[in-house]
């Protein structure tokens, strides 16, 4: 293993993989350390929506540039990632949700994103055979979707092809500092001297930050996803209804989820960080289901002095596979069959779950950390970082190589938490 690097990237999800790719393309010597046996966690498990629609205005310039990148990624990375620019349709079952969409339209207009509100009779033109008593919908034809595993692997492979060194099964155990700046890292495969570390560790970033005395508020929520058996082709549009979100894959199967309903496994961190997240829980209480059980006990056991978690905080629960919620799988399949009644009866081929890392204001943490020179955070993508991954990676590379990213990322600064400058979430999806 390399003993020296210009940059060490922690995590080979879509964010870390993209950062390594854009850095390597600029001639930077990069080592990516990934504690899992494959690149990425959430990045492999998500719905695959690449959505500009409904975003917090602060994210719009980034996600629109990301969309431009996605359109050319298959060519650029030389890989099939099942990219489809089929649009995104958000459905409203009541006037309140429709009013939220209406309130978001000025954002689309401000940024020049083609988006229309649709009346019920216009919905069928977007998704043939769509059924249901909808009040209306919001349609963004330029949105798309892609295969999460293929896209994540493609970035990791392309980074390696451009000279990045990808170390799988190699957890970062510590970042070493000297005089307030990064000096190197300690990994399972040895030490690397480096002046720059990019933390793209997804849901584990809070722990990594804590080892450096930094308090990064990140909430974990468990999202359940399933894949159906195959069906005749119906639509290329990704659809987000209150009871089910779905996209049809190239082989005809559907990726489905319970339309944004999430499980929250209470842990010690949820209690520690309650003050950051309480307003958001309250606002979205219909979407969350709280579970007090094994994860809380595990986090209490982990906090015991001398526990494996205390001795090796960044390694001990590697390979954690959260359980999918079977009720959500059943409900989302039933909702899919109601929304698209022409489909034959479908079964579930596979279901899985992933922990989402969310910031209190539901926008990422992206940029340098003032307290520690050379430490760059690219994390807390709050359930929509698959779409943002390519641009987040490119901006990280620009920040490191040029000293300044090409888009304004000041709104994503880590210091906003300490400053108390956390705005209310302004996304509508
Ligand atoms: C159920 C679900 C549905 C979602 N749907 C969408 C969607 O439709 N559209 C969208 O845009 N986004 C979606 N998201 C969010 C999106 O998947 C994430 O925001 C994005 O993948 C984050 O990428 P990442 O690279 O930061 O994280 P990850 O893919 O989780 O990568 C982080 C990596 O860091 C590694 N790591 C952690 N600690 C260490 C260490 N100490 N040493 C070495 N490696 C380490 C981990 O093993 C992991 O591979 C969804 C997420 C989930 C879970």
Whether the CB of 405 sits within 6 Å of ligand 1: no
The closest of 143, 178, 230 to 375, measured between CA atoms, is 178
Whole-number pLDDT of residue 267 = 86
Q: Is the pLDDT of residue 283 over 80?
A: no
For 128-149, how does the pLDDT look when each residue is reduced to its tens digit (9 = 90+)? Answer: 999 999 999 999 999 999 999 9
Cβ of residue 42 lying under 6 Å from some atom of ligand 1:
yes
String of b and e for 256-294 (b: at least 16 CB within 10 Å)?
Answer: bbbbbbbbbbbbebbeebeebbeebeeeeeeeebeeeee
Rounded Cα gap, residues 215 and 272, in angstroms: 11
Model pLDDT, residue 76: 97
Q: How many CA atoms lie within 13 A of 403 on its CB side?
A: 0
The protein residue whose alpha carbon is closest to atom 26 in ligand 1 is: 202
pLDDT digits (tens, 9 = 90+) for 215-241: 999 888 999 999 999 999 999 999 999
Q: What residue spans of 228-364 are helical by DSSP H?
A: 268-272, 274-283, 294-302, 308-311, 326-339
What pLDDT, on the 0 to 100 scale, is given for residue 259? 85
- The answer, yes or no, to whether residue 286 has pLDDT greater than 90, is no
SS3 at position 231: coil
Q: Does the pLDDT of residue 400 top 80, yes or no?
A: yes
Q: Which residues contact 86 (CB under 8 A, 6 or more apart)?
A: 143, 144, 145, 235, 236, 237, 238, 247
Q: What value does the mean pLDDT of the chain take?
A: 95
pTM of the model: 0.95
Q: For position 294, what pLDDT does the model report?
A: 84
Side-chain-facing half-sphere of 133: CA atoms under 13 Å: 2
Q: Which residue has the tokens 């990791």?
A: 156
At residue 232, the 3 state secondary structure works out as coil
For ligand 1, atom 35: residue with the closest CA = 11
pLDDT band (50, 70, 90) for residue 293: confident
HSE, side-chain direction, 13 A CA sphere, residue 169: 2
Q: Candidates 221, 385, 412: which one to mutate for ligand 1, based on the most atoms within 8 Å of Cβ?
A: 385
pLDDT top residue among 427 and 74: 74
Q: What percentage of the chain carries pLDDT values higher than 70?
A: 100
pLDDT digits (tens, 9 = 90+) for 17-26: 999 999 999 9
Distance (Å) from CA 43 to ligand 1 centroid: 4
Give the HSE-up count for residue 390: Cα atoms under 13 Å, Cβ half-sphere: 23
């Amino acid at each position: 293993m390399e003993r020296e690097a210009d940059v060490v990237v922690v995590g080979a999800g879509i964010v870390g993989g993209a950062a390594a790719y854009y850095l390597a393309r600029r001639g930077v010597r990069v080592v990516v350390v990934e504690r899992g046996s494959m690149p990425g966690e959430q990045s492999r498990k998500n719905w695959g929506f690449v959505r500009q629609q409904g975003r917090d205005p602060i994210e719009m310039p980034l996600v629109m540039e990301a969309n431009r990148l996605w359109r050319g990624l298959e060519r650029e990375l030389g890989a099939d990632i099942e990219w489809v620019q089929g649009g995104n349709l958000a459905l409203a079952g009541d006037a309140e949700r429709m009013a939220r969409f209406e309130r978001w339209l000025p954002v689309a207009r401000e940024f020049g994103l083609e988006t229309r509100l649709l009346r019920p009779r216009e919905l069928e033109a977007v998704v043939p055979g769509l059924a249901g008593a909808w009040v209306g919908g919001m349609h963004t034809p330029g949105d798309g979707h892609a295969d999460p595993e293929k896209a994540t692997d493609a970035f990791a492979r392309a980074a390696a092809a451009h000279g990045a060194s990808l170390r799988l099964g190699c957890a970062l155990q510590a970042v070493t500092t000297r005089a307030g700046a990064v000096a190197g890292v300690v990994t399972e495969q040895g030490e690397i001297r480096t002046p720059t570390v990019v933390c793209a560790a997804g849901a584990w970033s809070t722990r990594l930050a804590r080892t450096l005395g930094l308090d990064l508020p990140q909430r974990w929520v468990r999202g359940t996803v399933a894949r159906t058996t195959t069906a005749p082709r119906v639509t290329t549009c990704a659809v987000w209804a209150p009871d089910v979100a779905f996209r049809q894959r190239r082989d005809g199967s559907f990726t489905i989820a319970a339309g944004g309903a999430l499980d929250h496994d209470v842990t010690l961190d949820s209690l520690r960080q309650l003050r950051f997240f309480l307003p958001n829980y309250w606002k979205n209480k219909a979407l969350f289901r709280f579970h007090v059980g094994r994860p809380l006990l595990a986090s209490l056991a982990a906090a015991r002095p001398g526990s494996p978690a205390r001795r090796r905080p960044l390694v001990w629960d590697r390979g954690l596979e959260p359980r999918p919620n079977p009720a959500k799988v059943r409900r989302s399949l039933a909702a899919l069959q109601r929304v698209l009644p022409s489909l034959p009866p479908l079964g579930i081929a596979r279901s899985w779950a992933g922990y989402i890392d969310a910031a209190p204001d539901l926008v990422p943490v992206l940029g340098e950390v003032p307290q520690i020179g050379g430490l760059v955070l690219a994390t807390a993508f709050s359930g929509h970082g698959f779409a943002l991954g390519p641009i987040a990676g490119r901006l990280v590379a620009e920040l490191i190589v040029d000293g300044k990213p090409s888009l304004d990322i000041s709104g994503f600064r880590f210091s906003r938490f300490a400053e108390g400058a956390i705005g209310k979430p302004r996304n509508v999806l």
